[in-house]
Structure 1
Amino acid sequence: MAAHTLYLWTAGCEFFIFPVKHYLHIMKKKLTTALLLLASACNLVNGQVKKAPAYPLITHNTYFSIWSMTDSLNAHPTRHWTGKDQSLIGMIKVDNTTYRFLGKDMPAFTTVLPASDEMTYKCQYTETEPAKDWQEVKFDDAKWKTGTAPFSDDKKQAKTLWAGKDIWVRRTFTLNDLNIDRLFLKLYHDDNIEVYLNGEKIFNTVGWTSDFKMIPLKDKFKEKLLKGKNVLAIHCANTAGGAWLDVGLANEPKAKSTGVLLAKQKDVTVNATQTIYDFECVGVDLKVTFTSPLLMNDLNIFARPVSYVSYKVKSNDGKNHKVKVYFGASTGIAVNTPAQEVTTQKYLTQSLSILKAGTVAQPVLQKKGDDLRIDWGYMYVAAPAAENAVQYVTPQSDAVNSFTGQVINTSSKVTKGRGLVLNTVLDFGNIGGTAKDKFVELGYDDLYSVQYFKQNLKPWWKTAGATIEKELTTAATDYAAVMQKCDAFNRSMYNAALKAGGKNYADLCVLGYRQSIAAHQLLKSPQGTTLFLSKENFSNGSINTVDVTYPSAPLYLIYNPVLLEGMLNGIFFYCDSKAWGRDFAAHDLGTYPLANGQTYGENMPVEESGNMIILTAAIVKAEGNASYAKKHWKTLSTWANYLSENGFDPGNQLCTDDFAGHLARNANLSVKAIVALGAYADMADKLGQKAVAQKYKAIAVDMANRWQKLADAGDHYSLVFEKKDTWSQKYNLIWDKVLGLHLFPAQVYKKEINYYLTKQNEFGLPLDSRKTYTKSDWIIWTASLADNPKDFKALVDPVYKFATETTSRVPLSDWHETKDGKMVGFQARSVVGGYFMKLLETQWVK
């Protein structure tokens, strides 16, 4: 111990180091002050994370997932993880003053010129470059073709097929009303575009969109609109990938003053199952808690698609105040695009008051892809009937005023329309110094969640005959018990992560917990097995991608390995079928939500076969028996044989880091094959197949020895065999350590860790020597190879810095640039479950 340093140990914390003079200064204060200082230094007791790139509010599955993407809850509309607005509004009325604490009013656009999502329209077009004055009003386009929007190369969605490079479009329209406050261009384009209004260029950009964007136009362009005939002229160039063109115009009317003030946000804390905000208003303090009770030890609660929004109100000035709280949920939660019409219903059960909304069309499982929201099934807002909540439906434009009192008639029955709001008002009565609590529930019944080899599957919670009303009722009845369970889990999870890796590591685990789970859907297969199917969010939209399951696995191995089985079961089923027919594992089951077979364009034989074998071995270790391996032994043996022949020195193929491109002789991919063969041998031994175990253990040991020679680059091991000027994170090595295979000596881990510490940038360790970007999940795996807390912390702290300082305000990206901390791609993916690798290593490696 240093002569001038005091080491303190705090319950649930690490050692904290204080200079003696600082300690003596503390001792001069009152004991309570000293304790407060100590708690401040630690700030760990309740497991509260204070900063996130985006804050989870409602998190159940990839379709039912709502976030706040600013540090202040009332600074911006709440959004789906894709970034599309899914507005939740919260207000509190204290006596006669109204404050907004949740969300923000979304622009209420009116149509000037409808795009095709609102109304079918035709226009003139050509794919041959026209004369220079093609954009002018007087240009003669009579010889052009007539087409219906949208124009696209997508044969299923295009009204006019556009498969060439360039298209020129002229849309002539008539306006009688020029009363426009702020003009917007409503545009969906792929790729580069230039837009003219009555001959003048109003917009151009390079790139593409994956949906309509509302683009504000300068006031001078509004003046270009004429009463009578007008022309929009567009040139779009298809430079890469898909092609799409659709256009309209919209008006944003001037917002009317509502007289609503902003509540002062004093604090925000995030834990595993909750996000908690504290607000101050004149006379009253308000605590708002969003709870998605994703408790993996109770799948009945875990699978229930119901979140709580809880309110605790207390006087802060010693006086009594009349208080009402408002909660508004946009029907945008139940649509893919704002133009879709919805229908609503208000009804009562014995114990609940309920509002319900869903699209009129109900296109169940008719859309697949990445950047999509659900537009089938129904959203629900429920409140206990005993609370006498007032519930009603309004257009979006009337929602706020319905609570402030400027729109009085809340009894009118709005049952159908676009952009509606489900409104709930809770009356707290007179509030004094004793806090009062109330809550509402937000739920979603998707009717059918996934199509699994041509059969539509209901969500797991419906397989026993439950209805959404029963789920809402049970959730309300069990509210107090569920909140206690969540609190207990939040603490235990945080304390375990804290002990394993320190504060910054534990905070990362908190940020990863709900995000990882909410990228999955829990179901039962027609064969009765558990399915826990992921969506490859903002990557390519695949369902049940094996190399997304692989990094996600540590979280589920710790808390419920049955869920990891649910990630593997569908792949085993598919690979055992005649539809697959290959001697290596598939990459995916399709494109979400259609799990009818692989749709990814290229196989990853070594990657996916190694992943499946390693994860099966991990399940065997987690469950303490080899029954799961025995069930799939024939298939596992086929894959092991493939790896024994092709895995050691891989050919020019992709690995999970496919964004980095093809790579032959990938040393890290070779490690995966070697570890997988060692894991296969270990499972064979547990199944009593001693000869098989001996054979494959010998193969794995021989490969590991040869690997050390081929990958040797002096002070590190190379990215590519026999290229000493390259390097890479060998994150696959962690399974050799975690599964206790001992194929590689500890000095291999040590040499790599020492080298990595010399290659770090401000926001983390690059993935390899090719680029400066990284994958944060792999950094945690790599750091878990360290044999001491100091080195682990040195590698993890830059990841924490990225998570808390990035300017990319989206649900945590796992692919970011290490020099500036910005996301490169991917967001809201399940792979952040891989952050739990250090906790898994701590629990499994003794």
Structure 2
Amino acid sequence: MKRPGIRYGLMASAAILSLAAIVSGVPARAGTTRNGVKINALSGTSSFTPIRPPAVPLVTRAPYNNVWLETPTGQAAHTWPTHWNGNVKAITGVAMIDNKPYLFLGAPNTAGLGTMTQSSLTTTATQSKFIFQAGGVSLTVDFFSPVEANDLKRLSMPLSDILTSAQSSDGITHTVSVYYDISGEWAHGTTTSLIDWLPKSINRNSDGSTTGGTLSAWEVTPTSPTVFEQTNDYPSWGTMLFATQASGTLTVQSGADVTVRAQFASFGTLMGTNDTNQPRAINNAYPVFAFANDFGRVGTATTVPFKLILGHVRDPAINFHGTAVSSLWRQYFSSQESMLAFAYNDSAGAVSRADTLDTKLSSAAKSAGNAHYAAITATVLRQAFASTELTGTTANPLLFLEEISSDDNVQTVDIMYPAMPAFLYMNPELVRYLMEPVIEYSESGYWPETFAPHDLGSTYPNATGHDDGGGENMPVEETANMLIMADAYMQHTTPANASAYALQHYRQFKQWADYLLAYPAPNATEFPYPNALDPQYQNQTDDFTGRIAHSANLALKGIEAVGAMSQISSYAGKPDQSTHYRTRAEQMIKIWGKLAQNSDSTHLLLQYREVANSQSPDTTTEPDSYWSLKYNGYPDKLLSLNLIPKKILAEEAAWYRTQEHPTGIQLDPRTLADNNVVHTFTKADWEIWTAASTNDATLAKDIYDEVYNYANTTQSGEPFSDYYDPNSTYVSGFRARPAMGGAFAPLTLTLKTGKGSGL
């Protein structure tokens, strides 16, 4: 799950550092530095609804369209937007109000700029809506990244919208125009790389519609693209697209950042020129690509939104075991320009659909949990989806996932597993598309092991596999994960799909289930229990704590996976096999309850107490007080396995209630060192899985409130980290990971089985 060398939480993060330290360390650009004006040197105080997010999602559609406002203040002015890893992807926003320029986004060092007051930020599942005030004008800026989970055409488009409107806030008419630029940093991950750019006119009917008008667009590319390579977690090939409607109120310009920004700040309009000094390095007079729109005289009526489309496109997208796989949008559009036209033409409808989704999701989350739980789901939906991209064909869609920040693996199974609830809830077919590359590779014959692989490649976007059987193997972990996810998909797709899917892959599923029921070695005295019931010394998803033997939580997952295989067998029309796996799961859960119990029956242990054997160290000295969150109880409810005795659920819930902090519950009692400081630790995704697994409604509510408190107060300034210290909200990396899709676990328990569609 994590890069070698950063185990035990030694991550490049410092949530308690000063704000200046958080934003330092990025190369200087012309006229400013990375931290530019101090983040807290702002006028006014913003309100936040329903949460002050750890970082604000701006352009979040895919692994390489994953740009955030990383500041603990939530203020957009005097902060550069960044890729999820903290590298600048500059967007500048300036409003000209009655001939006075005001900054509202970005950190340019342009003379004469005032600063708009950010009065509010509203975060929904698909939108980050800012309201800024200055000069008697209210400016609304909506960063919109749709999540149309049941429409693969729209879901496959790696494009986001920026929607800006203005109105008078003092009842007086004002002249207003707005300016946006993006930098060449959107085209490559290294600022010394050479880039080229081109202004383009695109007919809005190029998407096959009868829509009139023309788009004005900037296309920016690396001069020497290298396919399937990335630097600083960003692609070294592809095209940055930035577009809007051409009109009499629009002016455009490219050129050095200081020149173009000063032009607008001085005159409120652009020159209509294109800088021909290219190719040139991104950091050579930092070329920017700008649009300015004149709203004219603005009164109390809100203006029609000024719409911008922004994104990065690549084709091919993925190297899948030596085969170049295209982005799925290529199945629907003849070119990136026709996709751009479709996105612009569809924008109003997309916003309307998103508003409906946002409202529906908020209501459902409040019913499933509470208002704080709804705020968490609104904060993480875009984060989960932005780690994935649809590829392949309409006949065989493949949803590839990048293990963002904790590693760079492709299709990491123990990241797919915690992320799965978000995809299951939004559209269960997406779970199938997520699993498909792993199943396809496992069935290909290239993977030599009987257990499931950990991932499909060490570095995104190269899903080249591990044909030698290597990688960060987690035998019980990943095998159980795949079976549980497969069963979850089958229960929530249509019965016909479930039956066909079970039959199509039954041999593979059976191989995995039989691995879980196999014994670590033939010596029955040394190894009396199968792999599922008693995992030997091995890695598991919480590998920042190191390997573990006889893990009670991992064993629970293995047992549930055998129970899931019973249900998969039923879908495949194999009743005898179904009975066999169900019987084995029931036998193992009884033994598990005894092996995992501590001496005074107050809680289950972290590990069984066993003497050393040829595969595992001695664990008989584990303190009786050692425990862990048994978050793997969630699949028992999701799949209606009903294996875990109610008595054990009640015992665990009562224990967790004694371990609560205002911002969370520890994952287990151990501590880890980060930057030579000892911390306790927990995982926000697993906390919410624990809430979903319990029958204790008060405990579940407490957990929602505690995770909300952490997210709402952390000073990390990083996209929602699932890994933190519940005693201090110190964040130890794990920024922007799809694992936070696990926050949807309680919502999945409200889904109807056999429906075949999500929310």
TM-score for both structures, normalised by structure 1: 0.74
Counterpart AA for 1:73: A
Q: Distance between the aligned counterparts of 1:620 and 1:639, measured in 2? A: 17
Match of 2:225 among 356, 362, 365: 362
Distance in 1 of aligned mates of 2:181 and 2:472: 45
- Distance in 1, matches of 2:174 and 2:249, equals 19
Q: 1:334 to 1:460 in 2, by over 3 A?
A: same
Q: 2:461 aligns to what? A: 593
Query: Which amino acid in structure 1 is aligned with residue 751 of structure 2?
Result: Q
Q: What is aligned with 1:262? A: 115
Name 2:308's counterpart in structure 1.
Answer: 440
Structure 2 residue corresponding to 1:696, chosen from 553, 558, 581? 581
1:434-488 C-alpha deviation (Å, 9 max, x unpaired): 1112211113221221111111222110124431211111122222211100100
CA distance 1:720–1:788, change in 2 (3 Å)? closer
| 2:325 is the counterpart of 1:457 | yes
Q: Distance in 2 between matches of 1:318 and 1:712?
A: 69
Match of 2:447 in 1: 580
My pick for the range that moved more, 482-491 or 70-79, is: 70-79
Structure 2 counterpart of 1:632, from 497, 505, 512: 505
* Equivalence map 1:304-703=2 (5 Å): 304-350=157-203, 351-367=214-230, 371-386=232-247, 388-405=249-266, 410-415=271-276, 416=278, 417=280, 418=282, 419-437=286-304, 438-524=306-392, 528-590=395-457, 591-598=459-466, 601-625=471-495, 626=498, 627-645=500-518, 646-703=531-588
Task: Look up the equivalent residue of 1:721 and give its one-letter code.
Answer: Y
Q: Give the gaps of 5 or more residues in structure 2.
A: 1-47, 204-213, 519-530, 610-621, 672-679, 755-759
For residue 661 of structure 2, give the secondary structure of its aligned residue in structure 1: coil
Structure 1 unaligned spans of 5+: 1-46, 106-254
Distance (whole Å) between structure 2 residues aligned to residue 495 and residue 658 of structure 1: 36
Does residue 815 in structure 1 map to residue 700 in structure 2?
no
Shift of 1:819: 1.2
Runs of 4+ in 1 over 6 A off after TM superposition: 406-409
* Residue 354 of structure 1: how far off its partner (Å): 1.0
Return the alpha-carbon distance in structure 2 between the equivalents of residues 365 and 518 of structure 1.
Answer: 19
Contact 1:258 1:400 survives alignment (8 Å): no
- Give the whole-Å Cα distance in 2 for the aligned partners of 1:349 and 1:716: 64
Contact 1:584 1:639 survives alignment (8 Å): yes
**Which of the two has greater strand per residue?**
1
Kept after mapping to 2: 8 A contact 1:737/1:845: no
The within-5 A match list for 1:206-245 is none
Q: Shift of the alpha carbon at 1:781?
A: 0.5
Counterpart code for 2:532: G
User: Counterpart amino acid of 2:89?
Assistant: Q
CA distance in structure 2 between the partners assigned to 1:551 and 1:665 by the alignment: 21
The DSSP-based 3-state class of the residue aligned with 2:391 is: strand
Q: What is the Cα deviation at residue 796 of structure 1?
A: 2.4
Secondary structure of the corresponding residue to residue 349 of structure 1? strand
One-letter code of the match for 2:697? P
Distance change in 2, residues 1:678/1:388 (3 Å)? same
Q: CA 1:845/1:463 → structure 2, altered by over 3 Å: closer, same or farther?
A: closer
The alpha carbon displacement at 1:375 in A equals 2.5
Q: Is the 8 A contact 1:379 1:443 kept in 2?
A: yes
Q: Deviations over 1:50-84 (max 9, x none)?
A: 31110001011111111111211113111111001
1:22-45 deviation line (CA, Å, top 9, x unaligned): xxxxxxxxxxxxxxxxxxxxxxxx
2:87 corresponds in structure 1 to 84
- In structure 2, what is the equivalent of residue 300 of structure 1? 153
Distance across 1 between alignment mates of 2:636 and 2:515: 20
Instruction: Note if contact 1:346-1:392 (Cα within 8 Å) is conserved in structure 2.
Output: no
For 2:662 and 2:81, the matched residues in 1 are separated by 30
- Residue aligned with 1:641, SS: helix
Corresponding residue pairs, total: 647
| Match among 693, 718, 724 for residue 605 of structure 2 | 718
List per-residue Cα deviations over 1:359-417 (Å, max 9, x = no partner): 1111121337xx42123111111111246421110112223202112799734431422
What amino acid does structure 1 have at the position aligned with 2:241? Answer: Y
Distance in 1 (alpha carbons) for counterparts of 2:136 and 2:245? 27
Counterpart in the other structure of 1:745: 645
- Give how far 1:729 is off: 0.9
Identity, % of aligned positions: 31
Q: CA RMSD in A?
A: 1.9
Structure 1 position 721, deviation (Å): 1.0
The residue number in structure 2 matching 1:65 is: 66
Distance 1:758 1:408 in 2: 62
Q: Is the 8 A contact 2:540 2:554 kept in 1?
A: yes
Q: Does the aligned pair in 1 maintain the 2:95–2:178 contact within 8 Å?
A: yes
Q: Which moves more between the two structures, 395-404 or 280-289?
A: 395-404
1:435–1:602 CA distance, 2 compared to 1 (3 A): closer
Q: Which amino acid aligns with 1:452?
A: F
Q: Which residue of 1 aligns with 2:736?
A: 828
CA distance in 2, matches of 1:323, 1:367: 40
Task: Give the drift of 1:770.
Answer: 1.9
Q: Any conservation in 2 of the 1:558–1:622 contact (CA below 8 Å)? A: no
**Does the alignment pair 1:49 with 2:50?**
yes
1:732 and 2:732 are equivalent in the alignment: no
Shift of residue 48, structure 1, vs aligned partner: 4.4
Deviates more, 1:783-792 or 1:332-341: 783-792
Which one is further off, 386-395 or 609-618? 386-395
Match of residue 709, structure 2, among 793, 801, 816: 801
Deviation at 1:326, TM superposition (A): 0.3
**C-alpha deviation, 1:751, in angstroms:** 1.0
Residue 13 of structure 1 aligns with which residue?
Answer: none
